[in-house]
Amino acid sequence: MAFREIDLNMGPQHPSTHGVLRLKLAVDNEVVLRVEPVLGYLHRGMEKLWESLTYTQVVPLTDRLDYLASLSNNLAYCLAVEKLAGIEVPRRARYIRVILAELQRLASHLAWTGFMANDIGAMSVLLYGFEAREDILDIFEEYCGARLTVHGIRIGGAVHDLDGPLVSRIRAVLEKIPKRLADIRSLLDENRIWKERTVGIGRITAGEAIDYGLTGPPLRACGVAWDMRKEIPYSSYDDFDFDVPLGTNGDVYDRYLVRLEEICQSIRIVGQALDGLPEGEYKAKMPRVLKIAPAEVFHTIEAPKGVLGFTVRSNGTDKPERVKMKSPSFINLQSLEHMCKGNLFSDVIGILGSLDIVLGEIDK
Amino acid sequence: MPADRADHPELRKALDALTGRFGNAVLAGAADKGELAVRLTKDVIVPALSFFKDELGFNAFEDLVVFDNLNSPDEGGARFTVVYRLFQFPGAARARLAVEVGEGESLPSAVPIYRAADWAEREAFDMFGVPFEGHPNLRRIYLPDDFEGHPLRKDFPLAGRTVGL
Amino acid sequence: MTPFVADVLVPVAKIVAVILYPMVMVVVMIWLERRVVALMQGRLGPNRVGFQGVLQPVADAVKLFFKEDILPRQADKLLFNISPVLVMASSLLAFCFVPLGEPIRIGTITLTLWIADSPVGLLIVLGLSSISVFGVIFGGWASNSKYPLMGALRSVIQVLSYEIPTGLAVLTVAFLARSMDLVEIVRRQEASGVWYGFLMPVSFVVFWISAVAETNRAPFDLPEAESELVAGYHTEYSGMKFAYFYMAEYAHMVLVSSLVVILFFGGWLPPFQSVKALVFLHAVPGFIWYLIKIMFFLYLYVWIRATFPRYRFDSLIRLVWKWLIPLALANFLVVALVRFLR
Amino acid sequence: MSEPLERGPFLLARADAFITWAQKNSLWPFGSGLACCAIEMISTAAARYDIARFGMELFRASPRQADLFIVAGTVTNKMAPVLRRLWDQMPDPKWALAMGNCAIGGGPFPTYSVLQGVDRIIPVDVYVAGCPPTPQGLIHGLMTLQEKVGRSRPTKEILDPHARRQS
């Protein structure tokens, strides 16, 4: 028996759209025929605003793009500006940046695990994920006083030096995380319902994924070893020994496994960076007012959500002519319709969750 | 077009292949630090993009950036510069294709070649008012459909033209 | 016993009790669930109003009572208004047939701990608990809104499917006890010395899974799946009508737990009744045993909710048609065979 | 109205105390997250800060069942009509809390697309500053709101349905 096709509006206020995304769905009973994301409910005019601010004033606003991984945004922007201005960052500062960025990746992935599980209905995991994340936020709070919009990486280096007590605190937190991760995995990994909801759902092949511009864990879940930390190493990432976790099927379950494995790799990187933390300055000598001669650069990093890039063009003044962000969530979300077609309505939530989108960086 | 420096032999070869194929349409070209930067005339942008994808192996579309040259005129003197950024995986090479577009002029859409360009072109249309011909769904992406003006143009005031609510 | 006491006072007292008892259980259950889930998640849960937050459900109810009652303009007024009542009433009505224990003798008076004793009590209770789903369906349809409608549709299919294994599981119990009278079923378990849950574990498991599904609880809470359907069938309900849905869900859980205890775990019988050394357990009143057993199953509800992700629609249906119904049928055949051979 | 009458008769005052006790201890927030502040709102509900202690953990997904609208994040001009509609869908009595500088007054975004303060479209009871406010800050805001609810006069609103709209 055929049901009438109905249009279903999901969002901009819906519990599982991770913010103010709106999805226009066409469903036949519960089978999804079309998905059209409608963006812009959080469009704050960031890029326009940046053109009226100095280079250093832009940094705190980058915190508010991907607010689950603010330090990664700081890092990407600062690296672009440093490349543009030719600032050489001291080695110690580069290590501190790696430590901060990897801790941020831990926090982001832990939060994702919680959100994802909550979307599927395992609400306890949300609480477990956030509890583990709180420990990392404590480190940020001790480091520079903020929890979420950290603003810890500045042009030329970092805000503060890493002192002894903080280093031992980071080590203590890193030791706790595998235990918490094991708790989460024991609830989900082999759970039949979890597997039924994730294995084989939202599949995309490696070729299609690259064609859609997919980056980050969803791409690596297809078996494509594209990680900017390995491809074009930045900020001394080539000093560290770590693996790029890969999936095989490109489905939601593999994205989950890839992210959990990345948590373990991040712990490894932070450990190595703490062990090998070189002596020296934690920030470069900077001019009081940063004026950059006309030029244009593009710099990318591997953010928790995928490849994050900044195009910065200078015009000789202390303000950028244009700053353009290439946000991973924006480009990852494009493949949603391809993954959702023909699946059930419940799967849309799972697939959307598995892409790990943050509306702050999609809408800018 | 001769390149200034070349530290990536493949990119250098790619640049030569491109110049050989498109001739005078390649206005400038350089291969530097793993990035192949070319300036093209806008009528060859679609064949150039498919040349990059199919023959040079730049399989990933990374970004589409538009610059408004109102206050700092570019070499071409046109109002907008549209930059396509492509990435080669594996190989970790980048390509930067720049074309100049005057105000009110349109560009052919890159969506048939790179599906990832879909939203990027809608964003460029929304923010700068650069239309892309042949785009499957060219509408504003961020702002409401009845919004007037294109906010990222240099002559658009930060706080907007009309007072909000 | 004077006729006045027998014909007026006792029935009135019983009617009050049959309303109060489920309501008290619901209040306890809501508090218990929020506290237990919180503790399982490393939180504290409500602990500000009253001792350890026990008055939290009361505060919620009072607040909901004083909320504005919204009737959406596009709604079907009659069905929108009666469906919460239908849900609540069918749950409460079923409690009339659920016995709380053996009759008590006070002097010359014999006080039965049930309102209506029917030879087909089991069928009536099951029937009434199925009626409550009509409230869900009507409520979702009458809201005239898409998410509630989808919740209602899910509810129809879910209940249609899960009624079958429930019926088959219950049939085995009726088969063994040779009765559909709930009191009689407990007495038969006392006589046989083994509770049916241990005698027929398959029946119990099938019944319990179906019962969780029928009460729309996690992992089968599809009709009100928050991350998918906003609030499911009661999305458009506010104030007291929403409270009815909310409380009816818990009342239904209490009802189902009572049924499980009566059918499979000896109702008010003390445990280990055949073990001589543990005879002191009989000193504890049956009603207390009964409550303890019900509480265990209510706790199980909470525990399941805190542990499992939510089923997807098709795998939920697959579970019932491919696993539960064949299992229940096979179980029924085995029980019938054993019964026939003995 | 004269002052002693304004305070109301004893019975009504008792009723007020009872109703507001229930209301302030059972403020179910509407689960609406807009931007960065939403993450801190979720952190507040999570294990470390746990607003369940105040009976507020039941984040309702449907505005029909919520009492408290926590506007957590930047309100854009595109989102504003949606937000207003959600607020109108909430049943009285209802309260609004503006969380974060964006909701209070546009925050760091004086741009063409951002609504400069959510109090232009809905009446706000409590403002919590911060970018984003810490969970402690939000809890303080919620406790302030509880005090405000405790001072309200629900019986007056029941007897005169227009009282709330006028105040």
pLDDT exceeds cutoff 80 at D163: no
Q: How far apart are CA A98 and CA A238, in angstroms?
A: 11
Q: What is the mean pLDDT of residues A174-193?
A: 88
pLDDT exceeds cutoff 60 at D167: no
Percent of chain A topping pLDDT 90: 19
Residue by residue, DSSP assigns chain B as ---S--S-HHHHHHHHHHHHHHGGGEEEEEEETTEEEEEE-GGGHHHHHHHHHHTS---EEEEEEEEE-SSS--SS--SEEEEEEEEETTTTEEEEEEEEE-TT--EE-STTT-TTHHHHHHHHHHHH---EET-TT---SSS-TT--S-TTSTTS-TT-SS---
A127: nearest CB among C42, C153, C312: C42
- On whether any CB of chain D is under 8 Å from the CB of A49, the answer is yes
- On whether any CB of chain B is under 8 Å from the CB of A224, the answer is yes
Closest chain B CA to residue D122: B165
Contact at CB, C228 and A349, closer than 8 angstroms: yes
Evaluate whether chains A and D are touching (3 or more beta carbon pairs less than 8 Å apart): yes
- On whether any CB of chain A is under 8 Å from the CB of D33, the answer is yes
**Banded model confidence at residue D6, pLDDT cuts 50, 70, 90:** low
Contact B140, B122 (CB under 8 A): yes
**Banded model confidence at residue B163, pLDDT cuts 50, 70, 90:** low
pLDDT exceeds cutoff 70 at B6: no
Q: Two tokens at C166?
A: 């429930």
Q: What is the mean pLDDT of residues A13-17?
A: 75
pLDDT exceeds cutoff 50 at D4: no
Residues in D touching C46 (Cβ below 8 Å): 52-55, 57
Between the alpha carbon of residue C229 and those of residues A121, A341, C136, C151, the distances in Å are 12, 19, 14, 7
pLDDT exceeds cutoff 70 at A318: yes
Task: Determine if the peptide bond prior to B108 is cis (ω within 30°).
Answer: no
- Kindly report, residue by residue over A93-128, the tens digit of the pLDDT: 999 999 999 999 999 999 999 888 888 888 888 888
CATH of the domain at A94: 1.10.645.10
CA nearest to B124, candidates B42, B64, B43, B55 = B64
Residues in D touching C237 (Cβ below 8 Å): 64-65
D110: nearest CB among B144, B151, B159: B159
- On whether any CB of chain A is under 8 Å from the CB of D34, the answer is yes
pLDDT for the residue D1: 41
φ/ψ of residue B65, rounded to 5? -120, 135
CA dihedral angle for residue A73, residue A75, residue A77, residue A80, rounded to 10 degrees: -150
Closest chain D CA to residue B145: D78
Interface mutation vs chain D, best among A14, A18, A44, most D CBs within 10 Å:
A44
Closest chain B CA to residue D78: B144
Residue with tokens 């409460």: C92
Contact A289, A318 (CB under 8 A): yes
pLDDT for the residue A258: 92
B31 DSSP β-pair partners = B36
- On whether any CB of chain C is under 8 Å from the CB of D157, the answer is no
pLDDT exceeds cutoff 80 at D157: no
- The residue type at A264: C
Evaluate whether chains C and B are touching (3 or more beta carbon pairs less than 8 Å apart): no
Query: Would you call A1 helix, strand, or coil by DSSP?
Result: coil
pLDDT for the residue A109: 92
- Kindly report, residue by residue over B40-92, the tens digit of the pLDDT: 888 888 888 888 888 888 888 888 999 888 877 766 678 888 999 988 888 78
Question: Which residue stretches of chain C have pLDDT < 50?
Answer: none
Query: Mean pLDDT across chain A, nearest whole number?
Result: 87
pLDDT for the residue D51: 86
Closest chain A CA to residue C308: A122
- On whether any CB of chain A is under 8 Å from the CB of C67, the answer is no
Query: Would you call A75 helix, strand, or coil by DSSP?
Result: helix
Contact at CB, B142 and A39, closer than 8 angstroms: yes
Contact at CB, C46 and D52, closer than 8 angstroms: yes
pLDDT for the residue D141: 92
- On whether any CB of chain A is under 8 Å from the CB of D58, the answer is no
A308 DSSP β-pair partners = A301
- Give the angle B15-B21-B24 at the CA atoms, nearest 5°: 85
- The residue type at B128: F
Closest chain A CA to residue B73: A315
Contact at CB, C309 and A191, closer than 8 angstroms: yes
- Please identify among residues 208-267 of chain C the ones whose CB lies closer than 8 Å to any CB of chain A: 218-219, 221, 225-228, 230
Q: What is the mean pLDDT of residues B90-118?
A: 86
Please give, rounded to a whole number of angstroms, the shortest distance from the CA of C19 to a CA of chain A: 33
The pTM of this model reads 0.88
For chain B, the straight-line distance linking the first and the last C-alpha, in angstroms and rounded, comes to: 54
- Kindly report, residue by residue over D79-90, the tens digit of the pLDDT: 888 888 889 888
pLDDT for the residue D3: 46
Contact B140, B125 (CB under 8 A): yes
Quick one: how many helices (H) and strands (E) in chain D?
A: 8, 4
Is this prediction's ipTM beyond 0.90? no
Contact at CB, A68 and D74, closer than 8 angstroms: no
- Please identify among residues 47-106 of chain D the ones whose CB lies closer than 8 Å to any CB of chain C: 47, 50, 52-55, 57, 60-62, 64-65, 67, 89, 91-93
Contact at CB, C58 and D53, closer than 8 angstroms: no
pLDDT exceeds cutoff 80 at A257: yes
Closest chain C CA to residue A7: C146
- On whether any CB of chain A is under 8 Å from the CB of C317, the answer is no
Interface mutation vs chain D, best among A64, A125, A144, A349, most D CBs within 10 Å:
A64
Contact at CB, A40 and B120, closer than 8 angstroms: no
The runs of H, that is alpha helices, within chain C are 3-4, 10-40, 56-65, 77-94, 121-142, 146-177, 182-192, 196-199, 201-214, 226-229, 239-264, 286-307, 313-318, 325-341
φ/ψ of residue D16, rounded to 5? -55, -45
D100 DSSP β-pair partners = none
Please give, rounded to a whole number of angstroms, the shortest distance from the CA of C301 to a CA of chain D: 18
Q: How far apart are CA A42 and CA D114, in angstroms?
A: 8
Q: Two tokens at A115?
A: 């959100």
Q: How far apart are CA C302 and CA A233, in angstroms?
A: 49
Domain ranges of chain D: 9-166
A330: nearest CB among B85, B115, B119: B119
- On whether any CB of chain A is under 8 Å from the CB of D129, the answer is no
Length of chain C measured in residues: 342
pLDDT exceeds cutoff 50 at A139: yes
D55: nearest CB among C56, C66, C70: C56
C146: nearest CB among A6, A117, A128: A6
Contact at CB, C309 and A15, closer than 8 angstroms: no
Percent of chain D topping pLDDT 70: 91
Contact A30, A346 (CB under 8 A): yes
Q: Indicate the number of domains in chain A.
A: 1
- Kindly report, residue by residue over D101-134, the tens digit of the pLDDT: 988 988 888 888 888 889 889 999 999 998 889 9
- On whether any CB of chain B is under 8 Å from the CB of A285, the answer is no
Domain extent at residue A259 = 46-358
Query: Would you call C77 helix, strand, or coil by DSSP?
Result: helix
Q: How far apart are CA B115 and CA A331, in angstroms?
A: 10
Domain ranges of chain B: 9-108
Interface mutation vs chain C, best among D12, D14, D21, D25, most C CBs within 10 Å:
D25
Q: How far apart are CA D167 and CA D159, in angstroms?
A: 15
The arrangement of secondary structure in B9-108, i.e. its CATH architecture, is 2-Layer Sandwich (3.30)
Residues in D touching B142 (Cβ below 8 Å): 113
- On whether any CB of chain C is under 8 Å from the CB of A16, the answer is yes
Domain presence at residue A32: no
Return the CATH number of D9-166, one of 3.50.30.10, 3.40.50.12280, 1.25.40.10, 3.40.47.10.
Answer: 3.40.50.12280
